[in-house]
Chains A and B, each alone.
Chain A
Amino acid sequence: MNKKQKTLLWRIIIAVIFFVPLYLISEEIIHIPGFPDWALIVLFLIPYLLVGYDIIRKALLGIKNGQVFDENFLMTIATIGAIALGEYGEGVAVMLLYQIGELFQSYAVGKSRRNITELMDIRPDYANIEVDGQLEQVDPDEVEVGSIIVVQPGEKIPLDGVVVEGNSSLNTSALTGESLPRKAEEGSEVLSGSINMSGVLKIRTTTEFDESTASKILDLVENAASRKSKSENFISKFARYYTPIVCIAALVLAVVPPVVMMLMGADLSGHHAVWHIWKDWILRACTFLVISCPCAVVISIPLSFFAGLGGASSQGILIKGSNFLETMSQVRTIAFDKTGTITKGNFVVTTVHKSPIDEKKLLEYAAHAEAHSSHPIARSVREAYGKHIDMNRVTDLEEISGHGIVAKVDGVSVAIGNDKLMNKLGIEHEDCEHVGTILHVALDGVYSGHIVIADEIKENSKEAMAALKAAGVEKLVMLTGDAENVAKSVAAEVGLTDYRAQLLPADKVSCVEELLKECTGNKRLAFVGDGINDAPVLSRADIGIAMGALGSDAAIEAADVVLMDDDPKKIAKAIKISRKCISIVKQNIVFALGIKVICLVLAALGIANMWVAIIADVGVMILAVLNAIRCLFVKNL
């Protein structure tokens, strides 16, 4: 609790101590014979002023500055009205309960604000720099690119860089939501915001603080709350009209019924009858004023969204604004880029076919022939071979662009490449029924089989698609530049509903546009890409999701949702988080407004008095705030 809250708490406690005995006396539960009425009023004013003086002050200031319909003013009028009409107890109690509500709200919001910011807090406080053998703590802002920093076990890595000395494991859960530690050794790139767990690391920094991963993410998260959703805008507009309308209604209620009753010729015999009619209706009007405060909804909606954003970021899902949380919940079609999202984007030798010699031997020849090539396919062949490549065994190497490689390995002439190479050399070859890139190999002019290379599908792609379907996503479409047969087999294997193959980058935009046309009503389309070359598509879709984007500026810039690691299951999770959050927002709107309307009706009918009104008001607010905080608990979705 901060100082302001503590003071308020004390004021409330002391006021309650004064109030309770006075109330018991005024209700004649405690009999003190001859206790004068005027003394009761004066004594009631003590707790009233003690607990409400700041409200009254704000109300007066409000009038001075032309802010008439402000909740302070309403509370002041309602309570003074009640006291003036002789309902001292109710008047003081309303002020007291209102302040209790305010205190609770301020405490709960402050606490969840701290919790959520802590959750997202990857801001490093300092960096250690070695000066004359001594470690010195400096502001990460002041560290220049290329400096060597020392990170002790348990400390946050303050700046992105490369490890130059030391071995350790890193906890990157604040960045990615992934709880498995990541290894860091000499030469590995490390990201700011991860926590060093075991060994001392010396790191050469590669970015300034403003450009580092941690500050970029922080920036993104902090800005997220200022992009407001439709529901938030609706509520602030609503609050703007609701309060004045209820106030006018209260005025009408205070004046019209008594006047009408008198004109209709109600029994007005006696001074008391007239007084009673007026008192009754003015009290009902004061009750109206108590209900006119829109606090519960106004506070719980942004709190829900903020908690939702915080919860998502704790799972490695960065959502750039409350509005995207809203759109996310309505996603019914998802278009995927293939490479890097559904597949890993690294090529691997899957099989070796029709080889008359040992497969290992074939790979050995191939790997040596491909020794110099930097093509990802050549790399995958070398990886499949897995042993040291002795360049002395290779002679007469010739690379034929667009065809393949011809070379001599251990004196054997090796030709390795596609159909075109085999045709060119006049070697008869066999086609392969397998999906992927086919490398034919000929040894000394004799066809010796082929190597099949394919991009690997991510382990959880299939599970991810199933989860998305279970979450109610209707269309899962893969967009790829690959050949038809590759696309078809991948789509079938992971369980997509549709695919578009052989697309040029520009075609992807038009494909997404086509799919957008099919989204009717409230259905929204998301595009998932790895952030490389797909910025136009990311921004064209209703919501662009970039995955595995850690460290890619372009992706963080273009996307609306950034998945920090490349697990496709996070997409379904993001949708579930957004749904939970939106449904809590709706619950709160309906619940809080529903109770208000009911109370207004009951108050107008004279069934609900001020006690009911204030308890409903504060109660609704407390429940709505507690409900809103539920948005934070998204781990098991």
Chain B
Amino acid sequence: MKKSYKIDVDCAACAEKMEVAAKETPGVKDAVVSFMTLKMKVEFEDGADVAAVMKEVYANCKKVEDDCEIYL
């Protein structure tokens, strides 16, 4: 399953970091962050609990880039 989220982040390098952080979260199959459209596309593993996984993704992103926001 794929979902797209609006995000807010200030720099391109930080968007990169968010992408890596999201990708490494368990339950996430793949993630792409586009700094230009300020969107995060997340592909979940089969049977993943989307809400719980996204909570983790958010926490991991906050860790690498304090100044970011994901509109869940």
Interface residues of A (CB under 8 A from B): 4, 54, 57-58, 61, 65, 67, 70-71, 102, 105-106, 109, 113, 116-117, 222-223, 225-226, 228, 236, 239-240, 294-295, 298-299, 302-303, 305-306
Residue among A102, A105, A226 making CB contact with B37, cutoff 8 Å: A226
Query: Given A239-B16, A294-B13, A298-B13, do A226 and B32 touch, yes or no (CB 8 Å)?
Result: yes
Q: What 4 pairs across the A-B complex have the smallest Cβ distances?
A: A306-B36, A225-B34, A299-B12, A226-B32
Q: Is the CB of A302 within 8 A of B35?
A: yes
Set of chain A residues within 8 Å of B39, measured between Cβ atoms: 222, 225-226
Instruction: Give A299 to B34 CA distance when docked, in angstroms.
Output: 11
Q: Is the CB of A303 within 8 A of B36?
A: yes
Count residues on chain B whose CB falls below 8 Å from chain A CBs.
Answer: 18
Q: Is the CB of B37 within 8 A of A222?
A: yes
Residue of B nearest to A296 (CB): B12
Q: Across the A-B interface, how many residue pairs have beta carbons closer than 8 Å?
A: 64
Q: Is the CB of A65 within 8 A of B64?
A: yes
| Cβ of B40 to closest chain A Cβ, rounded Å | 9
Q: Does B41 lie at the interface of the complex (its beta carbon under 8 Å from any beta carbon of A)?
A: yes
Restricting to B1-54, which residues have a CB under 8 Å from any CB of A?
A: 10-13, 16-17, 32, 34-39, 41
Instruction: Give A57 to B5 CA distance when docked, in angstroms.
Output: 27
Residue among B17, B36, B66 making CB contact with A302, cutoff 8 Å: B36
Residue among A61, A295, A306 making CB contact with B11, cutoff 8 Å: A295
Instruction: Give A71 to B16 CA distance when docked, in angstroms.
Output: 13
Residue of B nearest to A222 (CB): B37
Residue among B10, B13, B37 making CB contact with A106, cutoff 8 Å: B10
Set of chain A residues within 8 Å of B17, measured between Cβ atoms: 67, 70
Residue of A nearest to B40 (CB): A226
Instruction: Give A303 to B35 CA distance when docked, in angstroms.
Output: 9
Given contacts A113-B36, A116-B36, A298-B12, 5 further A-B contacts (CB under 8 A): A61-B66, A102-B10, A105-B11, A295-B12, A302-B35
Q: Is the CB of A236 within 8 A of B37?
A: no
Max chain B Cβ within 10 angstroms of own Cβ: one of A226, A298, A302, A306:
A226
Instruction: Give A16 to B12 CA distance when docked, in angstroms.
Output: 27
Q: Does B55 lie at the interface of the complex (its beta carbon under 8 Å from any beta carbon of A)?
A: no
Instruction: Give A54 to B35 CA distance when docked, in angstroms.
Output: 21
Set of chain B residues within 8 Å of A65, measured between Cβ atoms: 63-64
Set of chain A residues within 8 Å of B34, measured between Cβ atoms: 225-226, 302
Query: Given A226-B41, A302-B36, do A67 and B64 touch, yes or no (CB 8 Å)?
Result: yes
| Cβ of B2 to closest chain A Cβ, rounded Å | 10
Residue of A nearest to B19 (CB): A236
Residue of B nearest to A71 (CB): B13
Q: Is the CB of B37 within 8 A of A298?
A: no
Sampled A-B contacts (12; CB under 8 Å): A58-B67, A65-B64, A70-B17, A113-B36, A117-B37, A223-B41, A225-B39, A226-B32, A226-B37, A226-B41, A239-B13, A306-B36
Instruction: Give A223 to B11 CA distance when docked, in angstroms.
Output: 20
Instruction: Give A180 to B19 CA distance when docked, in angstroms.
Output: 43
Set of chain A residues within 8 Å of B37, measured between Cβ atoms: 113, 117, 222, 225-226, 306
Set of chain B residues within 8 Å of A294, measured between Cβ atoms: 13
Instruction: Give A13 to B34 CA distance when docked, in angstroms.
Output: 32
Set of chain B residues within 8 Å of A298, measured between Cβ atoms: 11-13, 16
Instruction: Give A133 to B39 CA distance when docked, in angstroms.
Output: 42
Set of chain A residues within 8 Å of B64, measured between Cβ atoms: 65, 67
Set of chain A residues within 8 Å of B13, measured between Cβ atoms: 71, 239, 294-295, 298-299
Q: Is the CB of B36 within 8 A of A236?
A: no
Residue of B nearest to A61 (CB): B66
Instruction: Give A61 to B14 CA distance when docked, in angstroms.
Output: 14
Set of chain B residues within 8 Å of A303, measured between Cβ atoms: 12, 36
Q: Is the CB of B63 within 8 A of A302?
A: no
| Cβ of B28 to closest chain A Cβ, rounded Å | 15
Instruction: Give A222 to B41 CA distance when docked, in angstroms.
Output: 11
Residue of B nearest to A60 (CB): B66
Set of chain B residues within 8 Å of A109, measured between Cβ atoms: 12, 35-36
Set of chain A residues within 8 Å of B16, measured between Cβ atoms: 236, 239-240, 298
Set of chain A residues within 8 Å of B38, measured between Cβ atoms: 113
Max chain A Cβ within 10 angstroms of own Cβ: one of B17, B35, B41:
B35
Query: Given A58-B67, A226-B41, do A299 and B11 touch, yes or no (CB 8 Å)?
Result: yes
Set of chain B residues within 8 Å of A223, measured between Cβ atoms: 41
| Cβ of B43 to closest chain A Cβ, rounded Å | 11
Q: Is the CB of A302 within 8 A of B32?
A: no
Set of chain A residues within 8 Å of B12, measured between Cβ atoms: 109, 295, 298-299, 302-303
| Cβ of A549 to closest chain B Cβ, rounded Å | 23
Set of chain B residues within 8 Å of A299, measured between Cβ atoms: 11-13, 35
Residue of A nearest to B63 (CB): A65
Instruction: Give A105 to B35 CA distance when docked, in angstroms.
Output: 13
Set of chain B residues within 8 Å of A57, measured between Cβ atoms: 66
Instruction: Give A632 to B65 CA distance when docked, in angstroms.
Output: 30
Q: Is the CB of B36 within 8 A of A225?
A: yes
Instruction: Give A4 to B11 CA distance when docked, in angstroms.
Output: 13
Instruction: Give A61 to B32 CA distance when docked, in angstroms.
Output: 24
Instruction: Give A109 to B16 CA distance when docked, in angstroms.
Output: 16
Set of chain B residues within 8 Å of A225, measured between Cβ atoms: 34, 36-37, 39
Max chain A Cβ within 10 angstroms of own Cβ: one of B10, B64, B66:
B66
Instruction: Give A113 to B35 CA distance when docked, in angstroms.
Output: 10
